[in-house]
Amino acid sequence: MAHTLAPDTEALTLRHGDLEFDALAAGPADGPLVLFLHGFPEFATCWRRHLAAAAQAGYRAVAVDQRGYSPGARPLDTADYTMSELVADVAAFADELGAARFHLVGHDWGGVVAWSAATLHAERVISLTALSTPHPAALSQALASSPEQREAMSYVKLFQTPGAAEEQLLDNGAAALRGVFEGRVPEDLVEDNLRRLAQAGALTAALNWYRAMTLESAFADAPAVSVPTLYVWGDADVAFTAVPARATGEWVAAPYRYIELEGFSHWLPEEAPDQVVPALLEHLSAAEEDEED
């Protein structure tokens, strides 16, 4: 059964241990797997245009409501949201889908997970595509050296404060949470995101990704990735400045393409599908050709 906001997809359930994750899938079951990882405060539906395009190109395209976002995968302990747990989920998704090797696409927090998974599971990742999110080491250095980058991420302190963050984000009809999207995300997706995050425990689970950073830093210095990488950044991004974006290539020890989109902000999956999708399909195709050689 298709999701009403992504009619070109079918619903799947993926399991990792006792956790059950909701996912959207499209394309032939025997096509090369492309896993799409969303960020905060979104769900798999943000990838609807990309899923349809990848499926049409012959890929098995799967986007997952990640840990905390799927009602069946919502542990209560903040320690269950560390990067090691999130990366383990990715490997489990690929196992569930029967893919020894796969392509990874991530945005925002999903981009952090994708960078990390491409490092820890390089032998399994055919290609990496990151939207908005720079390499964690580039971001770590920028946070240490750039006042602009520290200011851009100053909201994290609030998000890490239990109770206060939930109250402020959901107050007045979730006006602050709605404002996060800057009016750049289609209204049907925004309304669905807000509805789902207003469910009991949902927003806290999503915010646990930030709170787990105090237990295991997501932005600690990380090694260079060794898989073909496409990185797309909008120069009006409110979370990531040009400093880490333009330095990201220093942490890619493989074929690398960097695309800077003028006038686009943080929400590239929905803001810029016309720019992102062709670049993504070209990147996937080139990596597949290398895979066959």
Residue 266 catalytic?
yes
Residue 16 catalytic?
no
The two tokens of residue 89 are 């989920």
- Break the chain down into helix, strand, coil percent, rounded to 5: 45, 20, 35
Q: Which of 59, 69, 81, 210 is catalytic?
A: 210
The residues pairing with 22 across neighbouring beta strands, listed in sequence order, are 13
Residue 108 catalytic?
yes
Q: Which of 38, 50, 135, 266 is catalytic?
A: 266
The residues pairing with 125 across neighbouring beta strands, listed in sequence order, are 102
CA distance 127 to 120: 13
CA distance 56 to 141: 39
Q: Which of 22, 65, 89, 108 is catalytic?
A: 108
Q: Are the beta carbons of 40 and 206 closer than 8 angstroms? A: yes
3-state secondary structure 114-162: HHHHHHHCCCCEEEEEEECCCCHHHHHHHHHHCHHHHHHCCHHHHHCCC
Q: Are the beta carbons of 117 and 109 closer than 8 angstroms? A: no
Q: Are the beta carbons of 243 and 146 closer than 8 angstroms? A: yes
Q: Which of 176, 188, 230, 193 is nearest to 40 (CA)?
A: 193
CA distance 43 to 4: 14
Triad 158, 159, 162: Cα angle to 5°: 90
- Helix count and strand count (H, E) for the chain: 12, 8
Give SS3 for 54.
helix
Active-site residue numbers? Answer: 108, 210, 266
